[in-house]
Structure 1
């Protein structure tokens, strides 16, 4: 647990004095910054914070350590062998929704290439009674710490000045700034940037996916980047501020001054819903000390004065293949996950992220060709799982950890004399002779890959992929006699001739092996469903992807189909046979090379502009 005793910080629990005028205090503080030019580690529809173990509704661009999976954890980050950032002890992962350009003429989409990003860490610690700086009050992020900034459902300015100021967009050359996408220009000579301030006041509690922002708060006052922490969230953590810069030069002339052709991957054409996620990967003991002593942000001193640093060669060699088999680049008729464009100003409604039916843009279910069941056993579909008692209660929680497969579970259950096996949440195995308190549900609800075999499906959150002897209906009476004695829970490593039972393995997130195509990290499935009514619209029919467009120039002029007859039908491609054969959505060789524009200025937290 992340919860700490608050006794040592009792002085911080005092409500900030109304006598303090926070707007007149200098909170610049100690800080350091780093800037690097790289494309993201990968771009895929995952979010291990908000959607653990499954697909995210929309695409994100990931930077940092190459440990991206559906279940990335602090432990995974600590095992990372490299990172894109300069500070070597920082194995954290940062991500944001990808930015797309929507062709104003035929409404097709293409991902905007990222150019670079600037990452700031500020010490904003101050005494809540007086508002005076006290750098020693800063704490480091605890292990397993996670947080988000921004609101993915916004489609209009935030309700408070503080929340609205946390997100800003900039077009540099001509200079234009807004909390939503700026307009009034036809090109951004020096780049388009989206920036976001993370909250830095913590209540000492764990992240809760059902209330993802409850454990964090912005400071007292109207500003998101300066001020003392409220008594409800007394722990002062480092304040993270990130600028994400995009190369939009290839879209010059393709939109008018009155257009805002940019759309975030969550279907936002306004920019107000820009958000970002942070999963801590800092080596314990490093950041807390550095934030109290490191003030090189203003001095211009090298990062090496405060930290051990990665060389450019080490950073550039750090990469990871995407594990979601889905097209996210090139001209697309719809956003990945079929996120509808929701203009607002009302809050957006949540998207399921379900497949729109086009394999070219939305991927496919992983192949089950590697599934080998015991003789006469077969799959009977997806079923709901009860908790008390379990729907399959003959042997419960036969944990197989990282080697868990549907094949292994079925073989294990058969070896114990059971006639039904069920796998759930990617890594849980259950055995029985009857399935109780359950009902058959849509197969789409059993979309999690087995952690030990990405080509096999292992249920979902609260749902079981069920396999039975003789292929009989598991909801009927027992299909075989129960074994006389149920042995202790055993672990099965994938061999039918498993040795004596071992201690159950407590489930842990899947570690990623820094991008090898033979990684144990699962290929996350994308569930197919019929085309939505929107897909049959005139705009969709008029879409046509240009043939033989050089990948290196994939952000060149947007294709404009002359008529509906010109639309090219989507082509269904077979799913990958196994994780070792799967290819990334776009390989490194497909990424264009970008020369750095002559960026003259950088935006710094608090609205200041500093010259490089």
Structure 2
């Protein structure tokens, strides 16, 4: 068992503020071409996503009617009380012969301990001082799936890191989105894994659960995984800072002889690079469990009786899956990225 001093040093080594925070694994719920936030009601959306969280995830998820916590019977995330949905684009490798293969995801270790997941991603809720938990129906988007301009991305909030080992417990580098981290996806055969970090805004206008661009109701207050700074008067309510961490295992693709003769070997499912990295978030914690977790200083991925949080075993959250709602083959070698097909309204 870590002493507090040891844990504090470990957290600082990871560049994450040395206060208690939730850090937990979420396994793959489904890999699917739907997006109820940006393209509600559409099957075969413009690009493929990997989704984690509550199993009531569906095509529309109308903000006024869909209660994730009430309608989900399981979650692919660690805590029983968290029926939220979290999703991102999928990374692909393009071979010299023009075929594509989805890059597998693995769990993430580091100083705070290994997280076990079957695909999926790791989620952080980082408080900075007194924070107000999200309200039922809240949703937001970080990043821009159509962006091709690195200069329009805050490297302190969305970034990639090259890991030269497949051992996720061998921590590399400093704070998330610092040092040699890049907006671009590293295109280097020395990388065995690529860690993707997506940090969401931590200041809210206090009124709107969403906005037309899914961004204007929230704003950043600084960069990096610090929990954020003071909030501006336009967005005065301090939220827990949500951060996604994904480990893409690229080790089986690092033979340069199979790389394309020109252009990138690694890209996201939009057929774009790191500048288009993005994350979607729909809040779905039961009752006031997240507020209690923040108030009671719940930590990492452990049971927290003071807030009523109970952690599932990996076997339990790994078993929470749903079928694709836009059925298609997404694994193995593909002739093209899953971007075609006419969108079909549900």
Q: Scaled by the length of structure 2, what TM-score is found? A: 0.78
Structure 1 counterpart of 2:297, from 294, 298, 315: 294
Deviates more, 1:224-233 or 1:205-214: 205-214
Structure 1 counterpart of 2:149, from 152, 156, 162: 156
Q: Describe the superposition over 1:180-203 as per-residue Cα deviations: whole angstroms up to 9, x where unpaired.
A: 1123x31433x2221100111111
Is contact 2:30–2:323 with CA below 8 Å preserved after alignment?
yes
Q: Which has the bigger relative contact order, CA under 8 A and spacing at least 6?
A: 2
Offset at residue 278 of structure 1 (A): 0.7
Say which SS state the counterpart of residue 276 (structure 2) adopts. Answer: coil
Q: Describe the superposition over 1:306-338 as per-residue Cα deviations: whole angstroms up to 9, x where unpaired.
A: 521222332122111112122322322322123
Q: What is the aligned partner in structure 2 of residue 94 from structure 1?
A: 86
Equivalent residues in 2 for 1:2-21, closer than 5 Å: none
Say which SS state the counterpart of residue 62 (structure 1) adopts. Answer: strand
Q: Describe the superposition over 1:152-181 as per-residue Cα deviations: whole angstroms up to 9, x where unpaired.
A: 122122336xx2321111121166631211
Is contact 2:69–2:286 with CA below 8 Å preserved after alignment?
no
Q: What is the aligned partner in structure 2 of residue 276 from structure 1?
A: 279
Is contact 1:192–1:248 with CA below 8 Å preserved after alignment?
yes
Offset at residue 248 of structure 1 (A): 1.6
Q: Describe the superposition over 1:437-485 as per-residue Cα deviations: whole angstroms up to 9, x where unpaired.
A: xxxxxxx7xx423xxxxxxxxxxxxxxxxxxxxxxxxxxxxxxxxxxxx
Structure 2 counterpart of 1:46, from 26, 30, 34: 34
Runs of 4+ in 1 over 6 A off after TM superposition: 256-259
Structure 2 counterpart of 1:178, from 177, 182, 201: 182
Offset at residue 79 of structure 1 (A): 2.0
Classify 1:223/1:314 alpha carbon distance in 2 versus 1 (closer, same or farther; 3 Å): closer
Count of residue pairs the alignment pairs up: 296
- The alignment yields a C-alpha RMSD, in angstroms, of 2.6
Q: Scaled by the length of structure 1, what TM-score is found? A: 0.45
Unmatched tracts of structure 2, length 5 or more: 1-15, 108-120, 166-171, 173-179
Unmatched tracts of structure 1, length 5 or more: 1-25, 125-133, 339-353, 356-443, 450-612
Q: What is the aligned partner in structure 2 of residue 335 from structure 1?
A: 337
Classify 1:98/1:192 alpha carbon distance in 2 versus 1 (closer, same or farther; 3 Å): same
Q: Describe the superposition over 1:272-316 as per-residue Cα deviations: whole angstroms up to 9, x where unpaired.
A: 11100011110121111211221534xxx8344552122233212
Matched, 1:114 2:105: yes
Classify 1:77/1:278 alpha carbon distance in 2 versus 1 (closer, same or farther; 3 Å): same
Q: Describe the superposition over 1:470-508 as per-residue Cα deviations: whole angstroms up to 9, x where unpaired.
A: xxxxxxxxxxxxxxxxxxxxxxxxxxxxxxxxxxxxxxx
Q: What is the aligned partner in structure 1 of residue 48 from structure 2?
A: 59
CA distance in 1, matches of 2:135, 2:202: 13
Offset at residue 122 of structure 1 (A): 0.5
Say which SS state the counterpart of residue 212 (structure 2) adopts. Answer: coil
